[in-house]
Amino acid sequence: MTGDAAWYEAAFVVGITNALNVVADGLDEALPPLDEDATPDCRALFDEIRAFYGGAAVPVPFRVLARDPSYAADVWAAARRAFADGRLPRRLKAALAFAVSMTTRSRFGIAFHLGEMRRLGVGERGVMEIVGVTQMFSSYTKIADTLQLAPDMADLAPEDPTPAPGA
Amino acid sequence: MPTVRLRDASEYPEPARRLFELSKQWFGVDFKQPPAMSRVMAWDLAFGGPHGRAMKRAMAPGEFTRAEKEMVAAAVSGVNACEY
């Protein structure tokens, strides 16, 4: 994974995954998701979301956010951009989101991104690979933090000298 | 400042030093000293051994490449707010 572009993509996936999980898990009782038919202002948005996810139901966070259609549309635009194929394939992005959701114990995120991984062709072996990586690094990170280890492997990869996109 | 004094590789017994050689091969880097985490895990080979094997098994190429898994590991570490 050389070059910064892939890492920017990964970071955006991590960020927006957490943002969607926070809404889905944190607001499900206080601000329950709206029915897809009860939000005519979001019809086009919901159609687009359904198409992106292979025709499945609109994910919970977008139905919560549909109370403010303009805001929901912006969040969706960011999420779509983050999860679309780019330098990183969509299946890897789903795996990243699944790992992040496991790490943050998001019930919504775990179920949703596990479903996305499977829909995108990841088999049970692949799912268990991501479970293993997530579990092992949840262990390593806590051991390192408990012993307050200083980073000693951060300089292994060469710096990417390329400018920002569009420069 | 680490909570413990990290021992040089030379302060470890032979079985642990063999583990450090494997660590070099795994990372493909000729470290002056093994990474701190390798030295921590070598402290108790009855723990570090199986833990390391589980990690290698998890990180080995399969449906996902090693590079893809390193990225997942970085994301998990970031979410855990781990600087190491």
* Residue whose pair of structure tokens reads 């190429």 in the numeric block: B61
pLDDT, tens digit (0-9, with 9 covering 90-100), for A52-80: 999 889 999 999 999 999 999 999 999 99
For residue B72, is pLDDT > 90? yes
Centroid of chain to Cα A149? 29
- Name the average pLDDT for chain A: 94
Domain ranges of chain B: 10-79
Of A103, A133, A144, the CB nearest to B37: A144
Alpha helices in chain A (DSSP H): 4-26, 43-52, 60-65, 69-83, 90-103, 107-119, 124-146
What distance in Å separates residue A39's CA from the closest CA in chain B? 34
> For residue B1, what pLDDT is reported?
84
Alpha helices in chain B (DSSP H): 14-27, 36-41, 45-59, 66-79
pLDDT, tens digit (0-9, with 9 covering 90-100), for B28-66: 888 889 999 999 999 999 999 999 999 999 999 999 999
What distance in Å separates residue B21's CA from the closest CA in chain A? 16
pLDDT, tens digit (0-9, with 9 covering 90-100), for A6-37: 999 999 999 999 999 999 998 878 999 998 88
Chain A contact residues (CB < 8 Å to B): 1, 6-7, 10-11, 13-14, 18, 88, 92, 95-96, 99-100, 103-104, 122-123, 125-126, 129-130, 132-153, 156
What ipTM was reported for this prediction?
0.91
For residue A159, is pLDDT > 90? no
Residue B32 is given by DSSP the state S
Q: What is the pTM of this model?
A: 0.92
